[in-house]
Structure formats: C-alpha cells, structure tokens
Amino acid sequence: MIRSLLVLTAALMLCATLTASDDRVDVGANPSAAAFFRNRIEPVLREHCWRCHGATKQKAGLRLDSLAATLAGGENGPALIPGDSDHSRLVTSVRRTQEPHMPPDDSLPAQVVADLARWVEIGAPWPMSRAESTPVANVPVAKAGPPLAGRMHPLIVHFPIALTLIVLPFALIARRRGGTWDTALALLVYAGAASAVAAVASGLFFAGHQDPQMLARHELVGWIAASGTVVCALLAALHQRDPSRRWILELALVATALAVGLAGHFGGEMVHGVGFPFR
C-alpha cells in the first residue's frame, strides 16, 4: 500500500507542478464577469472615454469603444494588455502614473480606478451583448505578474487536494479488508493539513483581481476545507494512541474531501467561468 501511495502522490505532484508552470491564463465565458463589465466598466468608458475615443472622434488615433480597437491602441501603442494592469495604458493613465493622464481635467474616483484594474487583471472580458460573454482566452500572463511565491499558489493548493483525496479511498479499502491504519496514511494526513494552511495563506496574500462574489465563496469553502484537514490531522494523531474510534476519523475525512472538492470547483469557476467542467 505504501508503494502505491508514493507513486500516486508523485504523479499528482507532477501534474500540479505542470499546472503551476503554465504561463497562460484561460478566462472562460463568465456571467459574473460580463455583469461586472456592464455595470462597472462600460458606464465609465461611456461617460469618460468614448467622447474623445469613440466612433466620431479618435484622439491620438485611439478608439476605446470595442475590445479589438482597445487592444489595437493608437499612436502610443496598445491601450490594453489583458491580465497586466500595470502595463495597460488604460489603467496607468487613469492612475495618473503615465502620460497622458486621463481624464485630462480631473482624476477618477479611487474605486473606479480599482474596478478598471481588476477588469484588466481578469482578462478584460468584453461581452458583445448583455446576453453574451465573450472570453479573452489564452492571454499571456504579464512578465511583471505575481512573484514566484504567487505563481506557486496552484502547486500548494493542488497538493493538499491530492493528499486528502488519496487518503480517503485507501483508508476505506483498509477498513473493508480488515486492516489497520499505517504510518503512511497518517503522514499524508499531516502533510495535507500543513499544505492546506499554506494554500489558504498564499490565497489570502495574492488574491485581489478575481470576481468578488466568486472569490468570497471560494475563500469560505477553502477555510472550511483547511479547517477540516487540521481536524483530520488531530484525529489521526489521537488514532495512533487509541484506534477504537476510527470511524470518527474516517467520517471527518469524508467531510473534508467533499469540502476540498467543492473549494476546487469554485476555484475553477472563478478562473474558467461557471459550468467550466462541461464546456
């Protein structure tokens, strides 16, 4: 059993590492992102940008009334680099950190600037109609993106998921065969708890550009899942001393595995859009 556990764990860690090293972002059709654009971004563009950079007038050769035109940019280059708010002129101009400052006469409210930056960071989704969300897929991540620790977040997120989901079936198989818990299962539970705590910490530190409602939901279930892994670690330690209540540990593993799976699903929806497993 120990050899099988080690092989499975190594394979899943390799998959997680490949995920973490991917340098592209897929932003799928996302109704929440479409609503964010319609409610928070389009009104700002309409009121402050399109009069000078729209269909009738294009100062500096720049139009901002479509995604294609914004990506093409004008005399100063592209106005938008999806996923990179720090190098998108649309954002740096309203932040007034790069010339020309926009709007030229007065600064936009801080919340509006933050909304524009967040919109760019999630891939600048620009739905063509209110019933349609057009994704910006396979957008290169900015070179000035998250530091190495931030890029490692998928690895330390996927690692506890792998450990928690691996322990449960082997624990149930051992029970069915009348076997006992061995040291390998306990070590996986302990490692899963430590990794889950690290995953929550990195998520809290590097989050900030996702859809707020989706992020809040993902964080809530993530906290529940991480707490479950810690409880399982404590129960595993107690089980080493008193194996008579093994069913409590197994029940906690089932509940934690469900929470981990749900947190992972919500994280996938936050990145790839609602219904991503079936598209």
Summarised one tens digit per residue, pLDDT across range 87-127 is: 888 898 888 887 888 887 788 888 888 889 888 888 888 87
In the structure, what pLDDT confidence band is assigned to residue 215 with cuts at 50, 70 and 90? Answer: confident
Give the model confidence (pLDDT) of 163-174 as tens digits: 777 887 888 787
Domain that holds residue 136: 31-140
Predicted confidence at residue 148, as pLDDT, reads: 52
How far apart, in Å, are the Cα atoms of 138 and each of 83, 92, 123, 168, 198?
10, 23, 9, 35, 28
Higher-pLDDT residue of 11, 276: 276
Tell me the pTM: 0.48
Domain boundary among 121, 140, 159: 140
The separation between CA 166 and the C-alpha centre of its own chain, rounded to angstroms, equals 23
Count the Cβ atoms, other than its own, within 10 Å of residue 177.
8
Predicted confidence at residue 23, as pLDDT, reads: 37
- Do 59 and 158 fall within a single domain? no
- Do 133 and 252 fall within a single domain? no
- Do 132 and 160 fall within a single domain? no
- Do 168 and 50 fall within a single domain? no
Domain boundary among 123, 140, 157: 140
Instruction: Calculate mean pLDDT across residues 13-17.
Output: 45
> Which of the 8 DSSP states describes residue 54?
S
Instruction: Calculate mean pLDDT across residues 255-278.
Output: 77
Residue carrying structure tokens 């279930």: 221
d(C-alpha 109, C-alpha 119), whole Å: 16
- Do 63 and 125 fall within a single domain? yes
- Do 257 and 187 fall within a single domain? yes
- Do 158 and 234 fall within a single domain? yes
Domain boundary among 86, 110, 140: 140
How far apart, in Å, are the Cα atoms of 9 and each of 12, 16, 50?
5, 10, 54
| Half-sphere exposure for 127 (CA within 13 Å, toward CB) | 19
Give the model confidence (pLDDT) of 250-266 as tens digits: 899 889 888 888 888 88
Higher-pLDDT residue of 208, 61: 61
- Do 82 and 202 fall within a single domain? no
**In 77-142, alpha helices (H):** 89-95, 110-121
How far apart, in Å, are the Cα atoms of 73 and each of 37, 64, 69?
19, 8, 6
Higher-pLDDT residue of 132, 72: 72
Average model confidence (pLDDT) for the chain? 74
- Do 136 and 152 fall within a single domain? no
- Do 217 and 264 fall within a single domain? yes
Predicted confidence at residue 272, as pLDDT, reads: 63
The domain total for the chain is 2
d(C-alpha 169, C-alpha 158), whole Å: 18
- Do 83 and 117 fall within a single domain? yes
